[in-house]
Chain A
Amino acid sequence: MTAPTAPPSRELSPEQVQALLRRPPLWRQRELQRSVAIALLSTLVVFGVLGYVISRSTGWRDVQRAFLSPSDFVASFPMVWDGFLLNVRIFLIAEPVILALGLLLAVVRSTRSPVLFPARAAAVVYVDIFRGAPALLVILTLGFGMPALRIEGLPNSAIFWGTMAIILSSSAYQAETFRAGIESVHASQRAAARSLGLSNTQAMRYVVLPQAIRRVIPPTLSGFVGLQKETALVSVIGPLEATRQAQIYAGMTFNFTSYVVAGVLFIAITIPLARLTDYLLQRTAQRREIGGAV
C-alpha cells in the first residue's frame, strides 16, 4: 500500500481551452451524427411506406386526376386567389377588433369593484355564450337573422355579418387568453404598484397589463392562425371567399384541384405565423432558463 498521492495536474493551455469552447465536445458531435442518421432513416421509412401504399391503391390514378391536375391548378388559381384576398381582408379587419374587444373583456372581468358588477356579469355571459356556441352557428344566425330583421341603417351584406360573427366568437376566446395572462402576473407585482401609491387602474395599466400581454403573445399568434382559417366558414352565408370559389370551380369542371389550391394558399399564409410563434416561445423558454429573478 502506498500513500495516496494527488492526481497529476492536467491543466489545459489557454489555446486548448479556446479550442474547447469553439467546438462542441466530442460526445456531443457523436450524438449529433447519430440523431441525424436516425432522423433520416425514419423519414425515409415512413414516407416510403406511405408512398408505396398510396400509389398501389386502386383509386390512386383517379384521385391524382381529380385533385392534382396541373392544368386545373393553373386554371382555377386566379379565381381562388381572388377569393383568398377576401379571406385576408376579413382577417385584417376582424383581428384588431378581436384584440381590442378581447382585452376590454379580460380587463373588465379582472376588476373587483362592486360598482362594476353589471359589466363583469355581462362580460361573463358574453364569453360563455360565444365561446360555447360553434362559430358556424353564430355565422348562420347572424348572416341570415340580422338582415331578416330589416332594421333601418343596418347593413345587409353577408360579408359584414360574417365578419361580425367571427369577431364575436373569436373575441370571447381572446378574452380568456388575455385573462389567463393577467392572472399569471404575480399578486406581488400589483401589491408593489399599489404600495407606491398607484391607483388600481394605474397598477393594471402600467404594471400588470404590459407583463400579461407579453406573456400571451405566443397563444395570441396561434389564435391568428386559427382566425385566418375560420374566415373560410363565412362561405356558408354566401361571400365568394377562397373555399367558395374553389367549390364553384369544382362544380363547373368536376375537378377538385381548386380545393388543393385553396389549401395551399391557407397553409402558405399561416406558416410564417407558426414559425414566428415557435421563435417567440423558444425565446421565452430561454429567458426562463437564464432565470429572470422575478
Chain B
Amino acid sequence: MSTGTNSTPLLLIEGLYKAYDRHLVLKNINLAVREHEVICLIGASGCGKSTLLRCINLLEEINAGAIYLGGEAITSGQVDADRIRQRIGLIFQSFNLFPHMSVLENITLAPVKALGISRREAETEARTLLERFGLEEKAGEYPDRLSGGQQQRVAIIRALALKPRVLLLDEVTSALDPEMVGEVLTIIAELKALGMTMLLATHQMGFAYQIADRVAFLDAGAIVEEGPAKRVLSQPEHPRTRQFLQQVLAASPLSPAATDDRALPVEFAGMAPFAERG
C-alpha cells in the first residue's frame, strides 16, 4: 500500500469529467488528498459535490479522467470495484442504515460478508467502536428507534468498521435537527484527531473553517478556488467564491446565536472570524 509521506497523495483525482445523459455535471476536476488531510468541498446545492463523492466511491462511472487511491488507478475498469469500495467509506446525508437490521448487524454486515472476518471478531470490533463513540447501549436497537444524530453516528461507525483509508462524507449533517448536528461534528473532529483522511461535502462553513486543512469551492461542476481553509473562507480570491460565501453567511450568519453552542464542542463554538465579517 501507499506510503505515509506527504509527497504522494492518498487520493488523486485527475481531469475528471462526469455527465448524466448530455448534461455535464463535473468539469475537469483535479484534486489531491494527502494522507491525514481533511478537505472540505463547498458550493451551492447542485454544484456537483455529491456527484464527485459518488464518483470516488465508484457508485458513478466517470466519462473522462482518472482517480487514484494510493497510486492505484481505480477508475480503469480493470479493478475489483467491491474491493476498492471497502477501502473508501462513504457516509450519506440520509444515513441509509439498513432498517431491518439492528445497529450491531448494520455494522458487522460488511466486515463479515465482504471482508470475510468471523462474526465474533466483527462483533467485538463493532462493540469497541460503539463504546468509543458512546453508543454501546444502542447495539441491539433498530434504526427507527434512534434519533437522527445517533443514526448518522452509527452510519459513520459502520463505515469505520471496514478500516477505510479515506472517508467521504456527503453533507452528513444536512438532514439533522439543529440540536443533533453537534454530536455528529464531534465524531468527525475525533476522527481528524486520529489522523483519518477525509473529504467532506458540507454547508457548515464554521465547521469547515475549524476542521479542514484545505477547502475547494465548486461552482457549476468545476473547482473554482482551492486552498488552505482559513485563507479561502476568510479571504476568498475568486469573485464567485466571495459571492457564495456572502450569500451563505447572510442566510445563516455564523454568530453564536445562530447555532446551539451547547451542542457544539467548545472548540467549534468560537467562530469569531465569521461573526465579525458577517
Contacts and interface: CB of A to CB of B under 8 A. Distances in A.
Interface of A: 188-189, 191-199, 202, 206-207, 210-211, 214, 287, 290-294
Q: Could you say which of A194, A198, A287, A294 has the most chain B C-beta atoms within 10 Å of its C-beta? A: A294
A197 B144 contact: no
Given A188-B94, A294-B144, A197 B82 contact: yes
Interface string B99-114: 1100000000110011
Contacts of A291: 144
B86 A206 contact: no
B114 A202 contact: yes
A56 B98 CA distance: 62
A282 B59 CA distance: 37
B162 A197 contact: yes
B45 interface: no
A191 B83 contact: no
Interface residues of B, number: 32
A192 B98 contact: yes
A191 B92 contact: yes
B56 to A, nearest CB: 11
Interface string B22-64: 0000000000000000000000000000000010010100000
B230 interface: no
B159 interface: yes
Contacts of A210: 100
A202 B112 CA distance: 11
Contacts of B96: 188-189, 191-192
A293 B100 CA distance: 12
B100 A196 contact: no
A73 B131 CA distance: 69
Contacts of A290: 144
B127 interface: no
A211 to B, nearest CB: 5
B59 A206 contact: no
A196 B158 contact: yes
Interface in B82-140: 82-90, 92, 94-100, 109-110, 113-115
Nearest to A211: B100
Contact of A198 (B100, B114, B144): B114
A293 B151 CA distance: 9
B236 interface: no
Contacts of B151: 293
Contacts of A197: 82-87, 110, 114-115, 162
B221 interface: no
Nearest to B60: A191
B148 interface: yes
B82 A199 contact: yes
Contacts of B148: 293
Given A290-B144, A292-B143, 11 more contacts: A188-B94, A188-B96, A195-B85, A195-B92, A195-B159, A197-B114, A198-B82, A207-B109, A292-B99, A293-B144, A293-B148
Nearest to B83: A197
Contacts of B115: 197
A196 B144 contact: no
Given A188-B94, A191-B96, A214-B100, A196 B162 contact: yes
11 contacts: A189-B98, A193-B98, A194-B82, A195-B89, A197-B85, A202-B113, A207-B98, A211-B98, A291-B144, A292-B99, A294-B143
Nearest first, the 6 closest Cβ-Cβ pairs linking A and B are A197-B86, A192-B96, A292-B144, A196-B110, A195-B90, A197-B114
B105 to A, nearest CB: 9
A265 to B, nearest CB: 38
B99 A294 contact: yes
Contacts of A198: 82, 109-110, 113-114
Contact of B113 (A189, A191, A195, A206): A206
A195 B97 CA distance: 12
Nearest to A287: B144
A196 B100 CA distance: 17
Contacts of A191: 54, 59, 92, 96
Nearest to B158: A196
B269 to A, nearest CB: 28
A198 B57 CA distance: 13
Nearest to A202: B113
Q: Could you say which of B86, B88, B113, B159 has the most chain A C-beta atoms within 10 Å of its C-beta? A: B113
Contacts of B98: 189, 192-193, 207, 211
Contacts of A293: 95, 143-144, 148, 151
A197 B59 CA distance: 11
Contact of B59 (A195, A207, A211, A214): A195
Contacts of B85: 194-197
Contacts of B144: 287, 290-294
Nearest to B54: A191
Contacts of A214: 100
Contacts of A202: 113-114
Contacts of A287: 144
B109 A196 contact: yes
A61 B158 CA distance: 74
A194 B159 CA distance: 12
